[in-house]
Amino acid sequence: MKFGIIRECKNPPDKRVVLSPQLCQNVLENHPKANIVVEPSPIRVFDDSEYRELGIEVASKMEECDVLLGVKEVPIDALISNKKYFFFSHTIKKQPYNRDLLRAILEKKIELYDHEVITNAKGMRLVAFGRYAGIVGAYNGVRAFGLKYGTFNLPKAEMLKDQRALITELNNIKLPNIKILLTGRGRVGNGAREMLDAMHLRRVNVGDYLNQTFDEPVYCQIDASEYNKRKDGVRGNKADFFANPEEYKSNFFRFAEVTDFYIAGHFYGDGAPYLYTRDDAKHHEFKIKVVADISCDIDGPVATTVQPSTIANPIYGYDPQSETVVDYKNPEAIAVMAVDNLPAELPRDASYGFGEAFSKYVIPAFFNGDKDGILSRAKMTENGGLTERYAYLQDYVDGKG
């Protein structure tokens, strides 16, 4: 089985890679029937020479490979027919901007395996960049706070080598006595929490966060059961919320009344209530002035996120009264950091973490008969058609949904 590490071609450029040089070497040592070829790249976070030094072939031979491994969407004109591809296709939610990509994949009879749907038997994702989105998102949010109020000026995350360097910078600044709210306890939320803990910020419980004042900056991490409540008044829980989201309404505003800086690291599911609306943001008791929206659902549950931002221009201002984008330093504006590809700012760490999971769970499936069903669950297309699991995308492909 010959694996090809493809060059990332999407613009803006992404420096991440599925397998680092060391992980390529580990794969070859653990799977004697595996072979790996790395396509040359001028932008990859690991130089071509780093692969060659470990005996990994670097060559423009992707046509000779059986399985091609990438991170971001592959441009249509770069797709090679009749190959197996792994990358984030951003099609499983019927994203309109990638309809033509999925059509091309079908026309070229490509077997597409989307990283986003590589799961275990219980549906839990096995490979993801979420932790690194949380790490960079929290850093960028703190940076946005300093820039909005002119209190400190952190360097951009993309200018720093790794998570340790981000932490060093965070520990060189001093936050005022603010309250920071973090939603989400998954990979993203806990990645953000790593950074808040690394700053030695005090973590407080919900009751104290809502009702007490502090002489130091503090944070509170909450999940869906704490910012939603059942409409019928019956006591709910997280499991019930995810099973019956339509039975709930937001209970977030009580946090918005006391929060200075909000980090959105939660997962938002269809049918769930918005955390806060544009009308909520207009309310005179809505206190939040800086939002780091790692989840980045546009015009969604975090109403101040009206557009994505970019690594080049990561912060914009949202004026709640006019519902327009303004200068984030405007005193009336809520500063919004909503970069939608945060892990790309920490490419070396993110590639290591992602690749460790990929080599642990996915690579073995090619040599053990896919005994755990990892490949079969992630396979979206085959022989020019959608697989049964992803047949719901047919209307999307046909332009009807």
- Assign residue 211 the CATH number of its domain: 3.40.50.720
pLDDT given for residue 275 in this prediction:
96
The answer to whether 223 is annotated as binding is: yes
Q: Where are the alpha helices (DSSP H) in 268-330?
A: 278-282
Residues 156, 95, single domain; the answer is: no
Residues 49, 103, single domain; the answer is: yes
Residues 202, 302, single domain; the answer is: yes
Residues 169, 106, single domain; the answer is: no
Q: How many domains, the chain?
A: 2
pLDDT given for residue 204 in this prediction:
98
Catalytic status, residue 15: no
* pLDDT in 10s for each residue of the chain, 401 residues: 999 999 999 988 899 999 999 999 999 999 999 999 999 999 999 999 999 999 999 999 999 999 999 999 999 999 999 999 999 999 998 998 999 999 999 999 999 999 999 999 999 999 999 999 999 999 999 999 999 999 999 999 999 999 999 999 999 999 999 999 999 999 999 999 999 999 999 999 999 999 999 999 999 999 998 999 999 988 888 888 888 989 999 999 999 999 999 999 998 877 899 999 999 999 999 999 999 999 988 899 999 999 999 999 999 999 999 999 999 999 999 999 999 999 999 999 999 999 999 999 999 999 999 999 999 999 999 999 999 999 999 999 998 87
What residues contact 399, with CB distance under 8 A and at least 6 apart?
A: 99
Query: Catalytic pick from 72, 84, 148, 179?
Result: 72
At 385, is the secondary structure helix, strand, or coil?
strand
Q: Residue 138: how many CA atoms within 13 Å on its side-chain side?
A: 33
Residues 188, 251, single domain; the answer is: yes
Residues 227, 139, single domain; the answer is: yes
Tokens of 131: 């932790």
pLDDT given for residue 390 in this prediction:
97
Residues 193, 104, single domain; the answer is: no
Residues 112, 200, single domain; the answer is: no
Question: Within 10 Å of residue 175's Cβ, how many Cβ atoms?
Answer: 19
Residues 264, 392, single domain; the answer is: no
pLDDT given for residue 268 in this prediction:
82
The domain of 261 spans 129-340
At 92, is the secondary structure helix, strand, or coil?
coil
Question: Within 10 Å of residue 158's Cβ, how many Cβ atoms?
Answer: 15
Q: In the listed set 306, 321, 340, which residue is the last one of a domain according to the structure?
A: 340
The answer to whether 186 is annotated as binding is: yes
Burial 224-242 (b: 16+ CB within 10 A, else e): bbbbbbbeeeeebeeebbe
Residues 169, 103, single domain; the answer is: no
Catalytic status, residue 72: yes
The residues that bridge with 4 in the sheet, in sequence order, are 37, 68
